[in-house]
Amino acid sequence: MVASSSSGSTTALKWWFAVEMRRLREKRRISREQAAAAVKGSPQNIGHIEVGRTLPKPLELDRLLELYGVPERQEFFQELRTRAKRGRDWWIGMSDSVPDHLNLFLGLESSAVQIESWDAYVVPGLFQTADTAGELIRVGRPELAPAEVDKLVELRMARQREILAREHPPQIWSVIAEPALRWTVGGPDVLRAQLEHLRELSERPHIEIQVLPLTAGAHVGTEGTFQILSAPPELHNYPGCVFVEDRIRGHYYEESEQILQYRNDLTRLQVQAAKPGRTAALLDEIAKDL
């Protein structure tokens, strides 16, 4: 099993397949030209495989894995290839509402075994109520028509259903800065409902929510928010990625040293934040101040 959902996102599975194949080749210091010659193909075809554009034929795959020195992983890669062809992206019916840079993120997120995040400004999208999401999208994207805003809200709610309501959800650990919980996005009633929703989520066994209080002082999270998505352990050459999104596009950091830097930052934030057991009480205190 190489994904946390029953079918798996075809986008994520193809990406995992591509990264694994590229890193196996590079580890053996084999050129694309040499790999292409081994399967009587072209370097361009090897390149297409390594960016997730195409999948190799079964016999080509076995030959490449022999060349890369890992014939014992043929069964795993053949299964991964089959699942990548048969997988389905859950947002396929909403694709007109998905920005291009989010396609890969949605796939990786829906197949991750663990999702960790730091949010300094707003409640993370996975935890937002529809009213909170609607207000943030309307204000953040004033050029959108109401119907377009509604589509993006529905996309966010569908994303929550896909991640949070599945039979075997990923482990989620979220650190949220206190100011993000105090801004009255949508007004006091909307914020009260949002805080209550967070309280309910914090009681679920697979979700840990920590609040970084204002009294924490200076911290390493001042440079922006991020998410760490952990891939299944069967993917030897793809430990996961860090996703950082700005107003225009998303950025993916996939090298081990980059992931480690963000993970160390998250660990520091977790240490400075209030313990998860204090989350419900802190949310109640913020709600009383409204």
- Comparing 64-73, 98-107, 278-287, the range with the smallest average pLDDT is 98-107
pLDDT at 88: 87
Has residue 135 been placed in a domain?
no
72 plus 173 within the same structural domain: no
For residue 122, the number of C-alpha atoms closer than 13 Å in the C-beta half-sphere is 16
Confidence of residue 4 (pLDDT cuts 50, 70, 90): very low
Asked if residue 259 has pLDDT above 60, the reply is yes
Ranges of beta strands (E only) in the chain are 114-119, 171-177, 207-212, 226-230, 240-245, 250-253
The answer to whether position 72 is within a domain reads yes
* pLDDT tens digits for range 148-158: 999 999 999 99
The last residue of one of the domains, among 63, 86, 109, is: 86
For residue 51, pLDDT beyond 80: yes
**Rounded to whole angstroms, how far apart are CA atoms 102 and 260?**
23
Q: Note whether 280 and 186 are same-domain residues.
A: yes
Query: Tokens 């100011």 identify what position?
Result: 179
Q: Which of 86, 118, 144 is the last residue of a domain?
A: 86
Q: Which of 86, 108, 138 is the last residue of a domain?
A: 86
Give residue 237's pLDDT: 72
Residue 282 identity (one-letter amino acid):
L
Distance CA 172, CA 170 (A): 6
Render pLDDT for 152-205 as a digit per residue (tens, 0 to 9).
999 999 999 999 988 889 999 999 999 999 999 999 999 999 999 999 999 999
Contact 17, 80 (CB under 8 A): yes
Model confidence at 13: pLDDT above 70: yes
Structure tokens at 225: 């928010």
Give burial (CB, 10 Å; 0-12/13-18/19+) of 271.
exposed
User: Would you say residue 187 lies in a domain?
Assistant: yes
User: Under 8 Å CB-to-CB from 47, ≥6 apart: which residues?
Assistant: 32
SS (H, E, C) 174-233: EEEEHHHHHCCCCCHHHHHHHHHHHHHHHCCCCEEEEEECHHHCCCHHHHCCEEEEECCC
The answer to whether position 3 is within a domain reads: no
Residues 47 and 163 in one domain: no
The CATH number given to whatever domain includes residue 31 is 1.10.260.40
Do residue 72 and residue 47 come from a single domain?
yes
Classify residue 67: in a domain, yes or no.
yes
Q: Is 253 helix (H, G, I), strand (E, B) or coil?
A: strand
- Is 164 in the same domain as 259? yes
Q: Provide the number of structural domains found in the chain.
A: 2
Do 115 and 68 share a structural domain? Answer: no
Pairing of strands 171-177, 114-119: parallel
DSSP 240: E
pLDDT digits over 62-93, tens only? 999 999 999 999 999 999 999 999 888 999 88
Going from the C-alpha of 273 to that of each of 257, 268, 270, 278, 289, the distances in angstroms are 24, 9, 5, 10, 20
- Say whether both 65 and 108 belong to one domain: no
Where does the pLDDT of residue 223 fall: very low under 50, low under 70, confident under 90, or very high at 90 and above? confident
Residue 187's domain comprises 92-128+158-288
